[in-house]
Amino acid sequence: MAESTPIRIILVDDHDLVRAGIRALLERLPHVTVVGEARNGQEALTLLTEAHPDIAFVDISMPGFDGLTFIRRASSIAPHIHLIVLSMYSLESYVSEALEAGASGYLLKQTADLTELNLAIQCVIAGGHYLTPTIGRQVMEGSLRSKESVTAQSLTPRQREILRLIGNGHGTKSIAHLLEISVKTVETHRSELMERLGIHDVAGLVR
C-alpha cells in the first residue's frame, strides 16, 4: 500500500470508552484513519460495505452478535480485510478460536499501547500475523505441549525406554546389555525412533 494512502480502520467494541481510547491512540498515527465504529458484530458488518476498511480491531465479548461470529462472517464477506482481536481475555482457547475464525492478530486491552497497535497494523498489512508477546508465548508453549504429547503417545514403551537411555548417554551395546536384547534390535528401534521423530542422527535423539 502506498504511503500516501491512509490505512482505513474500524473499531468494534460495545464499550464507548474503550473505542474512544483506542481511537485517540490511533489518531496519533499519521498513516491511519479511523473510518467507523460499531458496538457489535451486526453493526460492524454494515460498516464493511459502507466504510471499506483495511483493518478492524474487534472485541470478542459483545452482546448478541459477538466478535468471533463477526470475524467468521467478515472473513467470508470481505476476505481482503485484516481482523485484529483486541480483548481482555488471554485464554489459549480464545486465541486459537479467533485465529481459526480468520483473525490476523490478537492483542490484550490491558497491555496494548500506541507502539504495539502500530506494530500490529504494520504486520498484518504486510500479510503477516501479530500476537502480543504474552499470547505468542502461550501459543508456542501450547503447540510444543501438544507436539510432545502426540510424540510420546506415538512411541511404544520399548522405544521410550531406549530413547531415555540414549538421552542418558548410553551407547548401543550398553543399551542392549541393560535391556537384555541384541545389538541388532537396539539398532532397529533407534532407526524407528529417528524416523518417527524426524531426527537424522544420534545427537538429535540425545537432544
Q: In this predicted model, what pLDDT tens digit does every residue of 86-143 receive, in sequence order?
A: 999 888 778 888 988 999 999 999 989 999 999 999 999 999 888 888 776 665 555 5
Return the pLDDT at 152. Answer: 55
Instruction: Please count the other Cβ atoms lying within 10 Å of the Cβ belonging to residue 80.
Output: 7
Return the C-alpha cell found at 44: 460492524
Question: CA–CA separation, 203 vs 104, rounded Å?
Answer: 38
The pLDDT of residue 157: 78
Domains and CATH numbers, the chain: 7-140 (3.40.50.2300), 155-206 (1.10.10.10)
> Taking Cα atoms as reference points, which of 154, 153, 178, 149 lies closest to residue 165?
178
| pLDDT, position 1 | 44
State the pLDDT at residue 149. 54
| pTM for the full predicted model | 0.66
Identify the pLDDT of residue 43.
Answer: 93
The DSSP code for 110 is T
Residue 47: which residues within 8 A CB-CB, separation 6 or more? 10, 35, 36, 38, 53
In this prediction, residue 163 carries a pLDDT of: 82
Eight-class DSSP state of 40: S
Per-residue pLDDT of 32-42, as tens digits, reads 999 999 999 99
Mean pLDDT of all residues in 62-86: 91
Q: What is the pLDDT of residues 131-181, one digit of tens each?
A: 888 776 665 555 555 555 545 556 777 887 888 888 777 888 888 888 888
Per-residue pLDDT, 204: 65
